[in-house]
């Protein structure tokens, strides 16, 4: 079993990190109403600014920091007052008064251990904010990829509708001249009807994606969203070794390290509970006739009987500490495995995109061009033209879908490393 690396508690640096990250996304956010086109970075920026999960997590961190400030504080002192009324018949007896002040002082080191444990838990909460930002960034990029795909699919569909209207006109004209059968015109009309039905389905899917994005933005489900910018493909290759190094600094992993550190302090604190706490006391008692005896000072301790319960507490926190070590090992292995899986999928998508760009799309266009020329010249049948046009449309849709899938896979890869997409340097130059 590997020893868990120590994570130093740096509250000031943690606060600065969170502040700078927040400013990077929340400062002067873009306004959707002023955008003609939306790109993924702008959507991510807006999600970071508007999603309610981030301020909620930030308040959780503030609460943890506030608790750490009071975790090592002394308990409130006690002050008591006792009155003894004059119940005797003697006019000189007067009434008696007794004042008592006491302060509990924990055994040396206990307060510091409580504060250090709370500080580590606050650090864990700060890393949880980063984890949430990574997840939101991935969700925004995934939503944008779907937004882009459906918009492009609609563009392709409407262009196809225009083409099939032209094909229907040509087939109808040829049928009128007796050059082709009526089936050609009916096939064109059938294809045009199917495309219109497909357009209705795509519009419904577009509305569903709009709901998803607006949910991320904490807006009404039907609020307008600008159309997307074109998705691009990075011209560099991924560096798997750098991805792995980033994964070992995943905020979820760092949060577990901080929790393990807190458990270490709790074990030490449980062991300190074998020692008694002190109680300082001072008082004044007017019931004493001798004035020299009226003022008193004293000290007290609790007697730590019941060693079994203290041993049980130590065992409990040691077990939690060991559990966290194994959880960290499991998380580390899981992160590295996820990075490898998503890396392979991204590489696969890049290969598929290259295949579409260099082979499939050019061949489909050439096939359609030849089929269209043959049909207009009377050398080819309408069925060949239908097949060629359907093949090109299908290839275009598959290419756009693959491009969107590539960006969704890239988003999951970013998420698995625990880094925000616009802060990553995970690429190296193509050799």
| Residue ranges of domains in the chain | 11-85+96-428
Cα gap 129→133, rounded to integer Å:
6
What pTM does this model have? 0.79
Write down the CATH number for the domain with range 11-85+96-428.
Answer: 1.20.1600.10
Torsion, Cα of 236, 238, 239, 240 (10° steps): -170
CA-based torsion, 202, 204, 205, 209: positive or negative: positive
Q: What is the largest CA-CA distance in the chain?
A: 139
CA distance 351 to 407: 13
Q: Tally the C-alpha atoms within 13 A of residue 397's C-alpha that lie toward its C-beta.
A: 18
Pairing of strands 278-285, 295-301: antiparallel
Rg of the chain, C-alpha, whole Å:
36
Residue ranges in 224-306 assigned as alpha helix (H): 240-247, 251-272
Q: Residues of the chain whose pLDDT is less than 50?
A: 1-29, 422-431
Q: Give the relative orientation of helices 251-272 and 110-176 as an angle to the nearest 10 degrees.
A: 160
Region for 101 from its dihedrals, namely left if φ exceeds 0, alpha if ψ lies in -120 to 50, beta otherwise = beta
Q: What distance in Å separates the CA atoms of residue 266 and residue 114, rounded to the nearest whole number?
A: 7
Q: C-alpha distances in angstroms, 170 versus 157, 176, 378, 382? A: 20, 10, 12, 10
Which two three-digit tokens encode residue 168? 């229907």
139 φ/ψ sector (left φ>0, alpha ψ -120 to 50, else beta): alpha
């Amino acid at each position: 079993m590997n020893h868990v690396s120590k994570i130093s508690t740096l509250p000031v640096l943690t606060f600065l990190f969170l502040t700078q990250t927040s400013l990077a996304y929340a400062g002067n956010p873009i306004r959707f109403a002023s955008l003609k086109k939306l790109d993924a970075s702008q959507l991510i920026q807006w999600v970071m600014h508007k999603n309610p999960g981030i301020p909620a997590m930030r308040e959780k961190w503030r609460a943890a920091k506030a608790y750490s400030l009071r975790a090592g504080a002394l308990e409130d002192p006690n002050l008591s007052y006792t009155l003894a009324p004059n119940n005797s018949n003697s006019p000189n007896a007067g009434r008696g008064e007794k004042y008592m002040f006491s302060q509990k002082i924990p055994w040396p080191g206990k307060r510091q251990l409580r504060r250090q444990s709370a500080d580590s838990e606050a650090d864990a909460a700060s890393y949880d904010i980063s984890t949430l930002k990574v997840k939101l960034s991935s969700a925004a990029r995934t939503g944008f990829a779907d937004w882009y795909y459906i918009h492009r699919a609609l563009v392709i569909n409407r262009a196809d509708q225009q083409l099939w209207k032209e094909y229907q006109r040509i087939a109808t004209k040829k049928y009128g001249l007796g050059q082709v059968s009526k089936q050609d015109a009916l096939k064109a009309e059938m294809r045009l009807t199917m495309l219109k039905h497909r357009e209705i389905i795509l519009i419904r899917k577009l509305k569903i994606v709009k709901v998803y994005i607006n949910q991320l933005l904490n807006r009404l489900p039907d609020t307008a969203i600008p159309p997307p910018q074109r998705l691009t493909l990075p011209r560099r290759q991924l560096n798997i070794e750098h991805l792995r190094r980033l994964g070992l600094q995943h905020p979820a992993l760092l949060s577990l390290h901080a929790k393990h550190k807190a458990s270490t302090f709790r074990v030490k604190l449980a062991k300190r509970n074998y020692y008694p706490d002190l109680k300082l006391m001072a008082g004044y008692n007017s019931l004493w006739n001798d004035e020299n005896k009226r003022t008193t000072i004293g000290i007290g301790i609790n007697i730590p009987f019941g060693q079994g319960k203290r041993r049980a507490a130590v065992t409990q926190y040691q077990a939690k500490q060991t559990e966290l070590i194994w959880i960290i090992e499991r998380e580390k292995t899981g992160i590295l495995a996820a990075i490898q899986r998503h890396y392979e999928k991204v590489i696969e998508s890049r290969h598929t995109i290259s295949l579409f760009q260099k082979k499939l799309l050019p061949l489909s266009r050439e096939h359609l061009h030849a089929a269209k020329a043959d049909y207009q010249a009377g050398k080819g049948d309408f069925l060949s033209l239908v097949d060629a046009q359907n093949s090109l449309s299908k290839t275009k849709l598959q290419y756009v879908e693959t491009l969107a899938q590539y960006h969704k896979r890239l988003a999951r890869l970013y998420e698995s490393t625990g880094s925000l997409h616009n802060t990553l340097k995970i690429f190296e130059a193509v050799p």
